[in-house]
Structure 1
């Protein structure tokens, strides 16, 4: 009887242990599957309802006009949101644009009925830049024609064209001159923020523009360029869609250069010296990316420098189509696990510095005409053709927010030291940090009035009120230290700044808004962002 009881207890322990192990395996499997899963739909977690205490929502239209049946409405009423998932805004309606005439008719309808007009495509901004309460929104994604003039080495593009599709069209002969470091954005969106990316020599997209055709608020069409109608040009580029609709832009294109890839780890504080001694004088380094550690042990202290050295003007014949990112599920799991604390942040840094080089995709065969030995060769289109699908997930109670801060080059080390302290002493997970090189930008609302470095951050937050409050506090702390060091913050992101911070970063803002009203006296073109910066600047 005693032996039977012992056996029973032993069996019960085994069963309990097996249940625990099985539950752990099941939980682990389900968790990994959840972290690896791509988005099932857009995040739509509500709205940050104020900027510096000023309420953003507007009352619904008292007497909304009837919808014009001649316009291609893809939505009548409803809400729109952006990449943050925290800008949900009720709109009057959305008109799908595929022809220039659609824009002219929509603007005429809005003028006749007292509606505001917002311009949207991919909606990767994060502060209501592409829509507004009660606005008629032009969805430009199908207004996306691209034509290439090989002899002139230019392309003429409509604003809804995505860089991803443009690269596929240009490859293998040509490549984009200037764009963001990822290809998910539209040309119109890039023009509206004056985007910059991996080519530290080419600079921002403004430097690649030959000519733009723009439809103004009154429906008239004009052209502008760096040498023609320059005042309008300087306000449309980096003007956040507030001065007119870009109908098409003619942009420079370049050879699809072959690069030898390499990487090395340096100290973040040594980066200015590295730039001055290695990057700046060497014109054969065509692309650059500086990736900072977000692991607690060396947080923002170590930097992986990715460099791309030119070895040939053109790839050999038979170059394959540009590939899409691989290992998406695994990368998504690693970046989502990094939200769980120090151990997983260290794991992420280990994979970045140790494992990634072993799986690098070398797309150009080594030949005696190009390189010897074990060099990894790629074309210019390969590193610039990254749609970062691993950054998008199905975790609906959280969101990942971009920040960017521009610092005069001489102030870099002092700024990074203080930014590191701020970021260490808060609890929102920093998922990615990188450094870019920025030239002086001669546009009306410039983020770089002098040559600068920029710090780009990707930070996770819960989508509840507490998460937004913590993000607001962090954003303001980072803006304040940026201003202290003579820098500026980038405006396409969340509306967490104060009036004092906005005007300290952009003292030319009142003049910018005055010119806006010269080109658009009735303020036809609007957005939540526009109303916010206007309110903070004290402009009635």
Structure 2
């Protein structure tokens, strides 16, 4: 049996190579290399992002205070951009934070010199959430301590720690209870958007975050939780860094279980029933995610459900270290090829549906105690230990943009049908479409007021004004249909929504902004995103600096 499986695997590898070869017919070797090569550096297309073409740039102040030599500057002046590559923004400077003392000193300096403060780490939000024009930016990535309390089943981390680093510390005994579905993000950033991921039982970070310590604009540090300083907790969680600086957070952890991986190809319209029968409740898998077809002809009609069923409560202590993703250049090539027309989009879906299973990375050695058969076994940490290097490329002329839309679970099928029509009627290539599960979230700006399914889209666009206009039009169409189905859109992405769409999705926004001003009356903490929120809530065009 094992020999037959190896031969089958080899034939599938050969088939994948043939499929890629067919896809590359007519393409020069230089083009193939360009589509598969590693990025040469961060993308930066300039300041393309706008709001209805009005522009967000603000003039440089007439007088700029001298940089305090006592602060740990990473840069004095210069520009920052985010993962969209479309939001180049001039900043006063960037402080490389390594301690609470650095944060306090930077806030004191900003207040004394009339500067605004923005908080940044990985900068994967796509709408100027982590910086503002001429602001002092706190780069938190080096403020990244991690301490595990095995008795309490918690990990206490500083805000710059990434999920990748946390998993490496926890493995192989423990795993994160709730995190994003990839590991590149910082904890501070994930808390600031109340991120969610593959564990449909645990839900978003809100469910596993025990406490936070937050430095207010005054420099005072408060511990907050659902029981202590609960209102601050309610606003900082999903508060986009506008209320204070998270200086530490304590999160629940769980045993690093062993899962048996499997896949099922279903009709998208069958997903709600499949979820209730197969995935929800105590008998369901420990993790799951669903990928929808992005191929023309069955766009959003088919779904691959990836599930991870528990076969052992704890992984063996001698299992290997967490590994990096494999076949990166092949995956990157297929992803980038899909930007060039229907044939290649069909090839991408064919590869995921039929060929990808043969490249699954099994990490746990099978023993008699772990059941029968030849199913792939992984630990809980493995599927989430993915830094998605295949999504990063060296194509300067385009960029890939995330969207996410949440709808009540009963509205899923009608919503997907409408989304299919919208996506089929526009020209931007849809590279990936996933389904996530979220619970009702009791925070100030909740994207889910009731149990919901979310549609996550990854869409390619030209990195210029024409591409920006096309993405703005598509985003507004998707928000409109989301609102018609009683849903909301996620705020960490581009600022393409109208004020009416924003307030229809988040009617509690004026209360949120009033609370922001109560905690931060001088509006020390700011960002491009914050300026847009304020302007839209007031029904005015985006103003200058807050």
Which bracket does the TM-score occupy, shorter chain normalised?
over 0.9
**Cα distance change on mapping 1:56 and 1:253 into 2, 3 Å:** same
What is the alpha-carbon distance in structure 1 between the residues aligned to residue 329 and residue 459 of structure 2? 20
**Cα distance change on mapping 1:278 and 1:53 into 2, 3 Å:** same
What is the alpha-carbon distance in structure 2 between the residues aligned to residue 389 and residue 32 of structure 1? 17
**Cα distance change on mapping 1:27 and 1:457 into 2, 3 Å:** closer
Contact 1:212 1:223 in 2 (8 A): yes
What's the offset of the Cα at 1:61?
1.2
Contact 2:49 2:468 in 1 (8 A): no
Q: Is 1:403 aligned to 2:370, yes or no? A: no
What is the alpha-carbon distance in structure 2 between the residues aligned to residue 38 and residue 459 of structure 1? 20
What is the alpha-carbon distance in structure 2 between the residues aligned to residue 284 and residue 300 of structure 1? 24
Contact 1:267 1:302 in 2 (8 A): yes
User: Which residue is 1:200 aligned to?
Assistant: 200
Larger displacement relative to structure 2 (367-376 or 242-251): 367-376
What is the alpha-carbon distance in structure 1 between the residues aligned to residue 73 and residue 539 of structure 2? 33
User: Which residue is 2:106 aligned to?
Assistant: 106
User: Which residue is 1:233 aligned to?
Assistant: 233
User: Which residue is 2:367 aligned to?
Assistant: 367
CA offsets, 1:179-231, max 9 Å, x none? Answer: 11000100000000000000000000111111110000011110100111110
What is the alpha-carbon distance in structure 2 between the residues aligned to residue 493 and residue 518 of structure 1? 26
State the secondary structure of the residue aligned to 2:28: helix
What's the offset of the Cα at 1:265?
0.5
What's the offset of the Cα at 1:316?
2.1
State the secondary structure of the residue aligned to 2:276: helix
CA offsets, 1:346-368, max 9 Å, x none? Answer: 11111101111111111111111
What is the alpha-carbon distance in structure 1 between the residues aligned to residue 284 and residue 382 of structure 2? 17
Q: Is 1:469 aligned to 2:469, yes or no? A: yes
State the secondary structure of the residue aligned to 2:291: strand
User: Which residue is 1:490 aligned to?
Assistant: 490
User: Which residue is 1:20 aligned to?
Assistant: none
State the secondary structure of the residue aligned to 1:382: helix
User: Which residue is 1:454 aligned to?
Assistant: 454
Contact 1:49 1:57 in 2 (8 A): no
User: Which residue is 1:84 aligned to?
Assistant: 84
What's the offset of the Cα at 1:49?
5.0
CA offsets, 1:243-302, max 9 Å, x none? Answer: 000000010001100001000001101111011111113445100100000011211000
User: Which residue is 2:121 aligned to?
Assistant: 121
User: Which residue is 1:256 aligned to?
Assistant: 256
What's the offset of the Cα at 1:38?
1.1
Contact 1:209 1:251 in 2 (8 A): yes
State the secondary structure of the residue aligned to 1:172: coil
CA offsets, 1:480-501, max 9 Å, x none? Answer: 0000100000000000000000
Contact 1:126 1:492 in 2 (8 A): yes
Larger displacement relative to structure 2 (439-448 or 313-322): 313-322
User: Which residue is 1:18 aligned to?
Assistant: none
What is the alpha-carbon distance in structure 2 between the residues aligned to residue 371 and residue 182 of structure 1? 29
Contact 2:258 2:313 in 1 (8 A): yes
What's the offset of the Cα at 1:538?
0.2
Larger displacement relative to structure 2 (278-287 or 226-235): 278-287
What's the offset of the Cα at 1:59?
1.1
TM-score under structure 2 length normalisation: 0.93
What is the alpha-carbon distance in structure 1 between the residues aligned to residue 25 and residue 157 of structure 2? 51
What is the alpha-carbon distance in structure 1 between the residues aligned to residue 282 and residue 357 of structure 2? 23
Q: Is 1:536 aligned to 2:533, yes or no? A: no
User: Which residue is 2:304 aligned to?
Assistant: 304
Name stretches of at least 5 consecutive residues in structure 2 with no aligned partner: 1-23, 541-546
What is the alpha-carbon distance in structure 1 between the residues aligned to residue 255 and residue 537 of structure 2? 44
What is the alpha-carbon distance in structure 2 between the residues aligned to residue 55 and residue 468 of structure 1? 12
What is the alpha-carbon distance in structure 1 between the residues aligned to residue 334 and residue 124 of structure 2? 23
What is the alpha-carbon distance in structure 2 between the residues aligned to residue 292 and residue 352 of structure 1? 11
User: Which residue is 2:391 aligned to?
Assistant: 391
Q: Which stretches of structure 1, 4 residues or more, deviate above 4 A after TM superposition?
A: 24-27
**Cα distance change on mapping 1:441 and 1:328 into 2, 3 Å:** same
CA offsets, 1:394-425, max 9 Å, x none? Answer: 00010000000000111111100000000001
User: Which residue is 2:19 aligned to?
Assistant: none
TM-score under structure 1 length normalisation: 0.94
What is the alpha-carbon distance in structure 1 between the residues aligned to residue 424 and residue 284 of structure 2? 37
State the secondary structure of the residue aligned to 1:50: coil
Larger displacement relative to structure 2 (43-52 or 296-305): 43-52
What is the alpha-carbon distance in structure 2 between the residues aligned to residue 350 and residue 520 of structure 1? 52
State the secondary structure of the residue aligned to 1:298: coil
User: Which residue is 1:146 aligned to?
Assistant: 146
What is the alpha-carbon distance in structure 2 between the residues aligned to residue 498 and residue 25 of structure 1? 43
CA offsets, 1:72-105, max 9 Å, x none? Answer: 1111111000000001000000000001100000
State the secondary structure of the residue aligned to 2:260: strand
User: Which residue is 1:519 aligned to?
Assistant: 519
User: Which residue is 1:21 aligned to?
Assistant: none
**1:112-511 paired onto structure 2 within 5 Å:** 112-511=112-511
What is the alpha-carbon distance in structure 1 between the residues aligned to residue 439 and residue 454 of structure 2? 10
**Cα distance change on mapping 1:447 and 1:411 into 2, 3 Å:** same
What is the alpha-carbon distance in structure 2 between the residues aligned to residue 416 and residue 26 of structure 1? 35
**Higher Cα Rg: structure 1 or 2?**
1
State the secondary structure of the residue aligned to 1:297: coil
Contact 1:213 1:247 in 2 (8 A): yes
What is the alpha-carbon distance in structure 2 between the residues aligned to residue 405 and residue 224 of structure 1? 29
